[in-house]
């Protein structure tokens, strides 16, 4: 049981880092496209911190759940990083580049991005079998 908790904590940590990177990349894209304007009320450092925190939360939630459930035959670092990065990138991009403030629509976009990342990883590792312990 302790081993499962250690692996889950490692997945959450890797997912948090990948989610933060995905969120930061989405913010960078929004800044390049001119969708976010900085002001004196909300400095860029505050926006960057909020986006990084949201990406971390996304990664902490997505990485362990998807890694333990649907991505058992995928290398652990790939399922944690790619699903977290895709989910946080999609969520933050949808939040910053659209005028949608409806929470369920933003969550639907994030879930769709996670599902697409899972489908891509499942397709890539479709012929790989999980190693079974020898008796």
Could you read off the pLDDT tens digit of each residue along the chain, which spans 135 residues? 788 899 999 999 999 999 999 999 999 998 888 887 666 677 888 889 999 999 999 999 999 999 888 888 888 888 899 999 999 999 999 888 877 677 888 889 999 999 999 999 999 888 776 555 555
Helices (H), 1-135: 2-32, 44-69, 76-97, 103-124
Domain boundaries, the chain: 2-124
Long-range contacts of 125-129 (CB under 8 A, 24+ apart): 125/73, 125/74, 125/75, 128/73, 128/74, 129/73
- Report the C-alpha gap between 77 and 75 in whole angstroms: 6
pTM: 0.83
């Amino acid at each position: 049981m302790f081993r499962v908790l250690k692996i889950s904590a490692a997945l959450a940590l890797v997912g948090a880092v990948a989610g933060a990177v995905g969120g930061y990349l989405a913010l960078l894209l929004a800044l390049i496209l001119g969708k976010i304007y900085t002001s004196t009320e909300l400095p860029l450092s505050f926006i960057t911190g909020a986006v990084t925190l949201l990406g971390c939360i996304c990664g902490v939630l997505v990485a362990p759940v998807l890694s333990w459930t649907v991505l058992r035959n995928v290398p652990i670092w790939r399922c944690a990083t790619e699903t977290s990065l895709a989910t946080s990138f999609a969520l933050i991009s949808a939040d910053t580049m659209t005028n949608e403030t409806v929470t369920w629509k933003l969550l639907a976009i994030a879930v769709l991005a996670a599902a697409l990342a899972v489908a891509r990883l499942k397709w890539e590792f479709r012929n790989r079998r999980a190693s079974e312990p020898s008796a």
